[in-house]
Chains A and B, each alone.
Chain A
């Protein structure tokens, strides 16, 4: 019996792939024989599709790029993963996929299908659409000698929500949105030629270019910068950004740091969906000031807040208008309303598809300026000008 167990274990060991020579079935790869891919690009080609993979940089090793053309992504990728100078490309750590504008129009569903189906890929891979050029050109253009394109793209993806310029949706979010809403938002980027300020960077600089509204097999439209900001605010993808608020003789640069969107459907007595109420609460902080403005003055602060509300409200109005004109619920207002009032939404006599393009949305934005950080007043106000609040306070303290 023991002999039988021993023999069986020996056979099983040979099957596991833990030995490089004897194995019958092997999934084992030596480290020096693999090319770890972090970025994948997909572009339209005459005979099908052009894909490229971008590896990772190591010590004394530049990040390598390889490309291949094939009739489909699967075929092109299959040949490509075996090409890298005798190494095998591993896609399991792919962080981002960039699709050229033309390929996105026709091959988005194929890209998502590939990611969902192929066991090496992950659904959390971030997806970009490259505008005004090919994804391959952009990725090869931004990479420096020691800075792989993957680092540049990853840095952009992380920082975009912090400056209010976009959000990289993952393949999971895009596939779910396409399946549930029939459309999805995808972050666009473009390459811009800029002066090379340091050696280790490419000729191109990668810039956010708003959201694209995508259908499974076509592009419905592209959102402007302002519309993209509005979409981020509604979808809760916004983190922070700075904007200039002109008041009286000064321009205040304000950082909008905390946003709370509240969306409520409003129903008539007969249960019909009449309108949607969108309330946005903003908390902002003063970053810098050009000119003079006494922020101890409450009236002035209210002015700043009103102006801020106006600016942010404008972004919301614009994106809501775009949703109506496109006739696509890419903001998932239906889902938001359903979660808010599930019973009433279920009972309403109208069909969402029939009414949402004409549904009024009341937008109200409430801004609060929270703080000015360490500087209470600019020196010009507290130190130099006569009758400044600081002077008054000092005088009254001296008097008492």
Chain B
């Protein structure tokens, strides 16, 4: 790992946080309400508990791992060079596809919300182009960008939620009783799936400097992410009710569309679209960096940036070929892609780390 491309624990967490905001805002609240019904606004609490447990497990598994090792290094160490490389190739292929899926998802969302007559390929190409340029640079550049953008993103979300508050109706949020626990857990599944995405960022851990003064914990960031999930679900469900929240693919956006600032300023959704684009861009850049990082470790090539353009081209191809239209894409994003992502982050990654631990490689 080059000495120049070092980031702090905090920077990694901010990068992770800003990146995961993208799928969080995308899937919520429709996916959670579809599974959890009216009680879904409490699901982020359950999702936080599950996410914290996974985080604790991951930390326990890499407790004695040498510093400066990313997940791919750990896999090669724990599974051996061949199995480790197989895991690396598998992860790189999946994440390349996932990057394309993200780009397509961002483009589809722009089309269905603000640019009805827009052109999907243009959005995909522009976003990938920007991501390639950034991902070809240093990890710390992207992390610093996320650090700078984070307060703006949180500020905008907070302001937007304040002005959306008057439309909330308690009737849409109740009744919720102790019997709703099953619904709450069902609704937590898609939220947990997003938060579990921190597993992908373990591939970048090799860049983190050892700062003993900083407590190596991501729990507060997980808590803030869950809080945002709770706010988004609460506000959308409270404003639109259960049936409309399920019917609409971008229900949170519909809430934003209705916001009036002091009865004077209307249609502030452009600000929210900017948030989406920023978070999509950071996540896509991170994915390209992660894939390039994996290839770098697997092949032993020293320059990570060498792998970024080919990955982006493949991701672009995946974005175009993954679905013929929005209907096919919806089917993919409702079950298949989240299921594979969950299998990767909750099963495969901890399993690979556990094997290394059991073999006492770290």
| Chain A residues proximal to chain B, CB less than 8 Å | 4-5, 8, 11-12, 15, 24-25, 27, 92-93, 116, 118-119, 122-124, 172, 175-176, 179-180, 335, 338-339, 342-343, 346
Which of chain A's residues has its CB closest to B177's CB?
A: A342
How many chain B residues sit at the interface, stated as a range, is 20 to 34
A28 to chain B, nearest CB (A): 12
Known: A25-B122, A342-B177. 19 other contacts (CB 8 A): A8-B129, A15-B122, A25-B115, A92-B267, A119-B112, A119-B114, A119-B116, A123-B240, A123-B244, A123-B258, A172-B239, A175-B244, A179-B241, A179-B244, A180-B241, A338-B175, A339-B170, A342-B176, A343-B177
Chain B residues, CB < 8 A from A339? 170-171, 174-175
Which of chain A's residues has its CB closest to B180's CB?
A: A342
CA distance A15 to B129 in the complex (A): 13
CA distance A92 to B244 in the complex (A): 20
Chain A residues, CB < 8 A from B171? 335, 339
Give chain B interface residues in 211-248, CB to chain A under 8 Å: 239-244, 247-248
Which of chain A's residues has its CB closest to B115's CB?
A: A27
Give chain B interface residues in 4-34, CB to chain A under 8 Å: none
Chain B residues, CB < 8 A from A12? 126, 129-130
Chain B residues, CB < 8 A from A25? 115, 118-119, 122
Task: Tell whether, in the assembled complex, residue B122 and residue A343 are in contact, meaning their CB atoms are under 8 Å apart.
Answer: no
B333 to chain A, nearest CB (A): 19
Task: Tell whether, in the assembled complex, residue A343 and residue B115 are in contact, meaning their CB atoms are under 8 Å apart.
Answer: no
Which of chain B's residues has its CB closest to A335's CB?
A: B171
Task: Give 5 closest A-B pairs by Cβ, nearest first.
Answer: A342-B175, A179-B243, A124-B258, A176-B241, A339-B174
Chain A residues, CB < 8 A from B115? 25, 27
9 contacts between A and B (CB under 8 A): A11-B129, A25-B115, A27-B115, A118-B116, A175-B244, A179-B244, A180-B242, A342-B175, A342-B177
Chain B residues, CB < 8 A from A176? 172, 240-241, 243-244
Contact pick for B257, options A123, A175, A338, CB 8 Å: A123
CA distance A223 to B156 in the complex (A): 44
| Chain B residues proximal to chain A, CB less than 8 Å | 112-116, 118-119, 122, 126, 129-130, 133, 167, 170-172, 174-177, 179, 239-244, 247-248, 254, 257-258, 266-267
Q: Name B's interface SS.
A: helix
B285 to chain A, nearest CB (A): 14
Contact pick for A343, options B167, B174, B179, B248, CB 8 Å: B179
Task: Tell whether, in the assembled complex, residue B258 and residue A180 are in contact, meaning their CB atoms are under 8 Å apart.
Answer: no
Which of chain B's residues has its CB closest to A175's CB?
A: B244
Task: Tell whether, in the assembled complex, residue B175 and residue A5 are in contact, meaning their CB atoms are under 8 Å apart.
Answer: no
CA distance A15 to B122 in the complex (A): 8
CA distance A341 to B172 in the complex (A): 15
Task: Tell whether, in the assembled complex, residue B122 and residue A123 are in contact, meaning their CB atoms are under 8 Å apart.
Answer: no
Chain B residues, CB < 8 A from A335? 171
CA distance A342 to B173 in the complex (A): 13
Task: Tell whether, in the assembled complex, residue A8 and residue B130 are in contact, meaning their CB atoms are under 8 Å apart.
Answer: yes
Contact pick for A93, options B126, B176, B258, B266, CB 8 Å: B266
Task: Tell whether, in the assembled complex, residue A122 and residue B258 are in contact, meaning their CB atoms are under 8 Å apart.
Answer: yes
Chain B residues, CB < 8 A from A123? 240, 244, 254, 257-258
B86 to chain A, nearest CB (A): 34
CA distance A322 to B159 in the complex (A): 44
Task: Tell whether, in the assembled complex, residue B126 and residue A119 are in contact, meaning their CB atoms are under 8 Å apart.
Answer: no
A96 to chain B, nearest CB (A): 14
Identify the interface centre among A25, A119, A180, A339: most chain B CB within 10 Å of its CB. A119
A118 to chain B, nearest CB (A): 7
Chain B residues, CB < 8 A from A180? 241-243
Contact pick for B113, options A93, A119, A338, CB 8 Å: A119
Q: A15-B122, A119-B112, A343-B179 are in contact. Are A5 and B244 (CB under 8 A)?
A: no
Task: Tell whether, in the assembled complex, residue B240 and residue A172 are in contact, meaning their CB atoms are under 8 Å apart.
Answer: yes
Identify the interface centre among B133, B175, B176: most chain A CB within 10 Å of its CB. B175
CA distance A342 to B113 in the complex (A): 36
Task: Tell whether, in the assembled complex, residue A179 and residue B247 are in contact, meaning their CB atoms are under 8 Å apart.
Answer: yes
Chain A residues, CB < 8 A from B167? 124
Task: Tell whether, in the assembled complex, residue A172 and residue B258 are in contact, meaning their CB atoms are under 8 Å apart.
Answer: yes
Chain A residues, CB < 8 A from B118? 25, 27
Chain B residues, CB < 8 A from A124? 167, 258
B77 to chain A, nearest CB (A): 34
CA distance A284 to B242 in the complex (A): 36
Task: Tell whether, in the assembled complex, residue A172 and residue B122 are in contact, meaning their CB atoms are under 8 Å apart.
Answer: no
CA distance A5 to B132 in the complex (A): 11
Q: A118-B116, A119-B112, A119-B116 are in contact. Are A24 and B175 (CB under 8 A)?
A: no
